[in-house]
Structure 1
Amino acid sequence: MSGPYGAWPSPVDAELVASGSRGYAELRGRADSLFWLESRPDEAGRTTLVHWRAGVSRELTPAPFNPRSRVHEYGGGAFCVADDRAYFVNFADQNIYAVRYEAEADDPHQVTQGEATERFADLAWDGAAILAVRERHNPDSEPVNDLVRIDVASGDVQCLHSGHDFYAAPRPSGDGRLAFIAWDHPNMPFDGTQLFLVQTNDGADPTDTTLIAGGARESVVQPEWCAGRLVFATDAGGYWNLHVHDDSGVFPVLPEDAEYAGPAWLFGSSYYVPVGPRHVVARRVENGVPSLVLVDLDQGLASPLDGGCSSYAGVTRTPRGVAFIAGFPDRPSRIVELELATSSRTDIASPPKPRVSIDVVSVPEPLVFSSTQGDAHAFLYLPKPVDGAVPNDESPPLLVTTHGGPTSNTTADLSWRVQYYTSRGWAVADVNYGGSTGFGRAYRERLRGAWGQVDVEDCVACVRHLVGEGRVDPARIAIRGGSAGGYTTLAALAFTNVFKAGASHYGVGDLKALATDTHKFESRYLDTLVGDAEAMHERSPINHVQHLNCPVIFFQGADDKVVPPNQSETMRDALAAKGIPVAYLLFDGEGHGFRRAENVRRTIEAEYAFFARIFGIEPAGGLAEVEIENIGAWPTP
């Protein structure tokens, strides 16, 4: 017997959680080469650019280089590839650098000479120069975004288009046309965007644009050129479906209740790629379940290619087929090549083999349950002991986790943070509350004007569903979330009495303060999520501390520009003044999300220790030290 639920000895330690935060992003194919970004939590959270060819991978950007854009603060599209060089945005100065990827060794050299106030993202190569989104910061006004063309020999930057609040996805056709996406306040890119086409031949007027698709309530994503035609995804029909623009106009490829794209939180996401004059390989998501399909653009047919992964990202072309970043529920994510002729998969890059047995991994159970707005979704991870024996005289504690965004989603990908809990005897419910992506626009817009209500109601409904089935202990239910999920966490604690403890990672407590303090990209997000100033006041947990009567631990990055530290600190001070047990951990050098391995280790150990002390759980291995105010007289369940 492993012992009481929540206190089991476990081989999943904080070191494994930190190493599991090493990941892949922005996979790009060119000829017989692949390129990707790889995060290095053991190098102070640095990112590096990797080149792979014929089974050999090589790092192109040694320390201190750090390919990472700060446009919109979230970045993305931090590099592009030309004939013999890769161009990347360096995080420290936001300038663009070049490195020869075929050379045995080549030190990156600087291309642009911009000031620290100038940033670039969504880089694309047009055959002679770099196209990019530029963001210029001014201390006296809102940042200005535009589309630019960068001469790689001189570093000169030429504005191609301006006038919209935001730009994305500059995609050259190769024959003198340029597609791009733009949108304006108060929209986010998943609310409403516009797809434009402009001629870029010598003498053409770059301001003479043609609107192809989109509008205030239609989100267009990822334009791609395919044999002279423009392929893109739009949710005009309620789901991000593929459409084609050619000389005859715009037509839908395959109208169906499935998503072929996602929210543009980051630049450069690739959900599909052309593989011939009439075919694309695409990630398809139906009711939150992903697969890979081959789409015939002319016939409007989608043929299954692969369905064995829990997520597909960075879909790109290779000579034999496609490559993508594959997620799995029982092993770490990796880069995989799929040969189209044989449907065989080959690993291109994968993290070191975990030092724990796969037998300890809890594979999630998809959960559908009734809530106030209809069915809602979650992944349920049940406790998984090393010896296979579980107590039969008690139910496990439950940790409800809430994803960020909130217009985002959670997947069934292996998370060692989740396994840290399940291997110690906790159940974990990872909720795709109303407002999540992957279920169509109607599900996504359940949260429109109802943030802090629908998301909280769905988390509560999930708990009541599991308690009603006798699967968890109602006296030991905690909730955690980061960023927008941190707000849902605090709102659930302030507006309900279902949860007994919470963990807010750089979460929001004061919506009005956030609307004033946050960056340009999200500065009007709350207009649609919440509403006017009165609604923001009413929906802010800081204004309802009198109803928040359970312990909370706060984690915060000192350099966070998205959710500033004052959000956590104001909530911490208010709870401490009430006599509620509260802890606060501030991490210097961290922004919106923790990248350094030592800080990832500290957060998981401190969070578990906090919950264990609140719930009276005494694991054999002891607990990490956490300073908790007002813990002395607090009763345990």
Structure 2
Amino acid sequence: MSLPPQATLTPLSAEVVLGKTPSLKEPVLLGGALYWLEQRPHEQGRTTLMGRSAQNEEASERTPGDWNLRCRVHEYGGGPCAIGQRANGEAVAVFVHDGDRCLWRLDLDQPGAEPQRLLTPPGDRFDGALGGGLIDPLQDRWIGVLERDGIDQLVALPLEGGELLSLHQPADFCGYPALSPNGSRLAWVEWQQPAMPWDCSSLWLADVDGSGQLSPGQRVAGASPQDAQAISVFQPIWAGSDLVVANDRSGFWNLEQWSTAEQSSLREPSWEPLLNLEAEFAMPQWVFGMSTHAWDGERLLAIACRQGRWELGEIKGRQWQLIEQPCSDLAGLCAEGGQLACIASSPTQPSGLLEVDLSNGQWSHRAAAPCPIAPEAISQPQELWFNGHGGQGTQAWYYPPAGGGHGEAPLLVKSHSGPTAMARTGLNLAIQFWTSRGWGVVDVNYGGSTGFGRAYRERLNGQWGVVDVADCAAAAQAVIDQGQAHPQRVAIEGGSAGGFTTLAALCFSDRFSAGASRYGVADLSALAEDTHRFEARYLDGLVGPWPEARETYAARSPLNHAERMSCPVIFFQGLEDVVVPPEQTERMAEALRRKGIPVEVRLFPEEGHGFRKGSTQIEVLEATEAFFRTHFAL
């Protein structure tokens, strides 16, 4: 059945959606200059350092050629580059080059300077993973995280090169070091399995002596897995002599402050909540380099998420004062001397750099690439609340198809990854790819998603494969009940954890007629036994303790219930994936073939968990659309 004649479509091409649009990350303001990372899909996913001086409005690439800035700590990485000032006041960047996994120094104040290697490994590559660091100007060194042989350490390395110095070894994991302005104290975050950092983590603090060594660290906030109340902390920063951290003991990640200058002892820190809002001032710590709050020297600034929308503001006199700006999707906040910058987008503006002059409130937004769609042609998100699993209020964003919603339109349900991620409202050209072809899209914040408080996040505890599946099916039904989609033309897609939700939904729900899984989990037992260190105990909280809950794992694994699937599925899998090994996808596809279900499998030899190459991303989008179009007879 064709689309109604009133639906005039101008389809976006996959090349326009994904081909050359870079992803911007981790902006830093230093001395009036602005630096940021740019990941380029058209250069095989290479990440480079960009910069714009205080005097020059034109951005330039600081690491051209083959430099690829990438951290592999905890597999997901983040924080591959630290930018700061040396003891002599010169600006410097220290980054991890993925070619040899070593740390390199780049002198930012010297135009045309070549990076200098700070480590000399015995072989072709350093035998550990480094990243998530900062510049210590007093000791003229880099401080960051080393993961090697299944162990995390806080380490230091002189900016002139040399040997790594071990500063602290946590009980399990660590990250997010923050050095006080006078260099006398170092704060950081720790967590222990089976907890993930957003489940239960703690803030640690130690004195730094004249030789750069740390005193024995002490826990000053948060919780350990043995404590009665699970508390998560996120991103310590220094606001002068005060230590600020996001803490969710109230049920939401709100900001708290400790005036360390008033206390010589670390034994009984007195934390004062700065705000008490039903808003999230943090994100799940999957990677290093995330930032939701910043100190510009005088002001404490933050981004916060309320009911799925992000906003920018200043904490002033224990009050939250909004800063006017056009974006509703914000990340990577930095600030200095009355200026702030972050990565931002809106429903009609692509992701780019948002900059605000706090003295006069003037802002500018520079998109990473021009928007290929006229504003009037953009399908904008409509908030959708519906009764999800157990009748609980659940949120999603619905994007109507070009030409408007109608009962004959196909519907695509998106199940995000994580599963702690969230469906955001910034312009997503991949969603517009579908709406420009007459599809409606519903992007679901199923139970377990971030942005709605700890209780919403904890709906998924022990219920992965149940709550998320029910919520995705209920979201689709809500759109159908509104007369905006054809009940027999509902597809679901997702990657990683979203891929698991996709496969589970196809097994345990009859709401969907086709699916697309990108590196999705098919066998929970295999994931529990084979996955990497960071997620080795993640499923304890999502499913149940392994191996005691083996029967639950088997009952929830799509691979064990292929006979319950009755609709076509397309799979995409990187052959270098260490999070979800390719064998899981191959076994799932073969089980469906034996049942006679239409299956297509696309394998990518040089991709891992999460596709980085533009050519791969284009192929995935085009192949998914062609697969659905064929099986929906569109």
TM-score bucket of the superposed structures, by smaller chain: over 0.9
Residue 336 (structure 1) shift = 1.5
| Structure 1 position 232 matched with structure 2 position 245 | yes
Query: 55, 60, 65: which one pairs with 2:62?
Result: 60
Partner of 1:592: 609
Aligned to 1:599, the other structure's residue is in SS state helix
Residue 213 (structure 1) shift = 0.4
Mapping for residues 399-478 of structure 1, pairs under 5 Å: 399-478=412-491
Relative distance call for 1:204 and 1:309 in structure 2 (3 A) is: closer
CA deviations over 1:544-589 (Å, ceiling 9, x no partner): 1111111100011111111111121111110011100000000121
| Structure 1 position 131 matched with structure 2 position 143 | yes
Paired amino acid for 2:315: V
Task: Give the gaps of 5 or more residues in structure 1.
Answer: 138-142, 618-637
Distance 1:351 1:205 in 2: 42
Distance 2:186 2:396 in 1: 41
Partner of 1:191: 199
Partner of 1:498: 511
Partner of 2:266: none
Residue 339 (structure 1) shift = 1.2
| Structure 1 position 284 matched with structure 2 position 304 | yes
Residue 210 (structure 1) shift = 2.1
Mapping for residues 463-612 of structure 1, pairs under 5 Å: 463-531=476-544, 532-612=549-629
Partner of 2:293: 272
Relative distance call for 1:391 and 1:251 in structure 2 (3 A) is: closer
Contact 2:294 2:301 in 1 (8 A): yes
Normalised by the size of structure 2, how large is the TM-score?
A: 0.92
CA deviations over 1:566-619 (Å, ceiling 9, x no partner): 1211111100111000000001211111121111111111000000011011xx
Distance 1:465 1:550 in 2: 21
Residue 354 (structure 1) shift = 3.4
Partner of 1:120: 130
Contact 1:8 1:424 in 2 (8 A): no
Partner of 1:76: 78
| Structure 1 position 316 matched with structure 2 position 316 | no
| Structure 1 position 214 matched with structure 2 position 222 | yes
Distance 1:167 1:396 in 2: 48
Contact 2:296 2:337 in 1 (8 A): no
CA deviations over 1:192-234 (Å, ceiling 9, x no partner): 1110110111368735222110113110100000110100001
Residue 417 (structure 1) shift = 1.0
Q: Which has the higher mean CA deviation after the structures are superposed, 472-481 or 158-167?
A: 158-167
Aligned to 2:343, the other structure's residue is in SS state strand
Relative distance call for 1:153 and 1:43 in structure 2 (3 A) is: same
Aligned to 1:306, the other structure's residue is in SS state coil
Aligned to 1:549, the other structure's residue is in SS state coil
Partner of 2:278: 257
Residue 106 (structure 1) shift = 1.8
CA deviations over 1:167-205 (Å, ceiling 9, x no partner): 111111133111011111111110111101101113687
Aligned to 1:332, the other structure's residue is in SS state strand
Mapping for residues 146-165 of structure 1, pairs under 5 Å: 146-165=153-172
Contact 1:17 1:600 in 2 (8 A): no
Partner of 1:301: 319
Relative distance call for 1:391 and 1:498 in structure 2 (3 A) is: closer
Aligned to 1:527, the other structure's residue is in SS state helix
Distance 2:287 2:6 in 1: 36
Q: Which has the higher mean CA deviation after the structures are superposed, 302-311 or 584-593?
A: 302-311
Residue 158 (structure 1) shift = 0.6
Distance 1:433 1:203 in 2: 50
Residue 20 (structure 1) shift = 6.3
Paired amino acid for 1:308: P
Distance 1:7 1:605 in 2: 21
Residue 104 (structure 1) shift = 2.3
Aligned to 2:471, the other structure's residue is in SS state helix
Distance 2:401 2:285 in 1: 34
Residue 8 (structure 1) shift = 6.3
Distance 1:440 1:332 in 2: 27
Distance 2:101 2:232 in 1: 29
Aligned to 2:349, the other structure's residue is in SS state coil
The alignment-based identity, stated in percent, is 40
Partner of 1:378: 396
Aligned to 1:262, the other structure's residue is in SS state coil
Partner of 2:267: none
CA deviations over 1:86-140 (Å, ceiling 9, x no partner): 1101112211111122222122121122453211111101111100010113xxx
Partner of 2:12: 12
- Number of paired residues? 602
Contact 1:6 1:425 in 2 (8 A): no
CA deviations over 1:49-86 (Å, ceiling 9, x no partner): 11111312111111211011011111111111233321
Mapping for residues 135-146 of structure 1, pairs under 5 Å: 135-137=147-149, 143-146=150-153
Aligned to 1:333, the other structure's residue is in SS state strand
| Structure 1 position 167 matched with structure 2 position 188 | no
Paired amino acid for 1:303: Q
Relative distance call for 1:520 and 1:570 in structure 2 (3 A) is: same
Task: Give the gaps of 5 or more residues in structure 2.
Answer: 264-269
Partner of 1:359: 376
Contact 2:180 2:240 in 1 (8 A): no
Distance 2:105 2:36 in 1: 15
Relative distance call for 1:8 and 1:536 in structure 2 (3 A) is: farther
Contact 2:7 2:402 in 1 (8 A): no
Relative distance call for 1:21 and 1:504 in structure 2 (3 A) is: farther
Partner of 1:23: 23
Distance 1:418 1:356 in 2: 12
Relative distance call for 1:103 and 1:376 in structure 2 (3 A) is: same
Contact 1:477 1:499 in 2 (8 A): yes
Partner of 1:344: 362
Residue 307 (structure 1) shift = 5.4
Paired amino acid for 1:166: F
CA deviations over 1:311-339 (Å, ceiling 9, x no partner): 11111114442111111111211101111
Contact 1:6 1:424 in 2 (8 A): no
Relative distance call for 1:56 and 1:329 in structure 2 (3 A) is: same
Distance 1:489 1:433 in 2: 12
Normalised by the size of structure 1, how large is the TM-score?
A: 0.92
Distance 2:106 2:11 in 1: 41
Q: CA RMSD in A?
A: 1.8
Partner of 2:112: 105
Distance 2:607 2:631 in 1: 27
Paired amino acid for 1:539: R
CA deviations over 1:266-290 (Å, ceiling 9, x no partner): 101110111344x311001111121
Relative distance call for 1:357 and 1:204 in structure 2 (3 A) is: closer
